[in-house]
Amino acid sequence: MPRLARLDAPGVLQHIIIRGIERRKIFRNDVDKDNFIDRLSNLLPQTQTACYAWALMSNHAHFLFRSGGAGMPTLMRRLLTGHAIYFNRKYRRHGQLFQNRYKSIICQEDIYFKELLRYIHLNPLRAKIVADIKELNKYPYSGHSVLTGNKKRKWCDTQYVLSYFGKKVTDARKRYLAYVKEGIAQGRRPELVGGGLVRSLGGWSAVKKLRLKGQDRVKGDERILGDGEFVTALLSQANERLDRRYELKGMGYDLEKIGRRVSKIYGIEKNEIYSKGRRKVQVNARDLLCYWAVREIGMTCTEIAKRLGMSQPGVGYAVSRGEKIVKKHKYQLHK
């Protein structure tokens, strides 16, 4: 089954999950975790991303972010690529470190903010990294210790989080801690990490044909955690892009056809785009090709990297540059 395109926009609340490939460790010791945190502390302000909750375990990690102007893919690409390079060099290993791409679930804030906050911060206790709530209060690799005042992390937005529990910091911390303690007995919460119930693979036009009658028949989506109205509204905002993708695929657009369009725009042969030449016209053509392939027809950076003989991060940077080209020259893949 094909993967769904990511949903992202500035200001969107997202539960992010990363896992080691084959459940292997992505942090072997505290030094690895500290290195990851240093990287995160630099990237969050650079990408204007807010962090409300986080927890690092040995083979996976959870975060509750609010997407900034640079977008979640930019933050996560730089964060995970940087950590993978560090980890592989340090331990003299090769190959993929993370299990596929990170998981991102857009969340309805008014319903799920506090639930996710508690779920994420209880992860070290559920994983038996700490023995009890007292140890969790001081666990340095979770936002919980920051909210309880036992650890300082300037990049954690504690003020916003504690505002959910009271106006005075002292009282808010007490109420937050009581709320977390109440959640211990709940155990694992699979409903908070699985998104919706039904995948939408037919484009928005197919979604509009559905009759939504009650919560038991609501349209779901694995990328979104929220009630029916929230899911429908969010998908509606993305409808033009989704419909556009299915329309282009229906017209036979693939990487080869995009290549022909790009070669016509730049007046060069298609094989020059696929070669590793560094002439400005070739670089621009490759950037435009990567942008249209990823954003218009939904190809992954990994797929394109294999076809063009590029690295996956290299394709990601090309997509960013291609977006600027499209905005500047108003190029369209198909008019």
Query: Is the pLDDT assigned to residue 197 strictly greater than 50?
Result: no
**Domain assignment present for 42:** yes
pLDDT of residue 35: 97
CB within 8 A of 154, min separation 6: which ones? 41
**Domain assignment present for 335:** no
**Domain assignment present for 2:** no
Whats the size of the chain, residue-wise?
A: 335
- pLDDT (mean) for 130-157: 96
Contact 75, 44 (CB under 8 A): yes
**Domain assignment present for 39:** yes
Residues 17 and 82 in one domain: yes
Residues 231 and 310 in one domain: no
Residues 280 and 306 in one domain: yes
What is the residue range of 180's domain?
A: 13-191
CATH value at residue 257 = 1.10.1750.10
Contact 71, 8 (CB under 8 A): yes
**Domain assignment present for 334:** no
Q: What is the pTM of this model?
A: 0.61
- pLDDT (mean) for 30-43: 97
- pLDDT (mean) for 189-213: 41
Total number of domains constituting the chain: 3
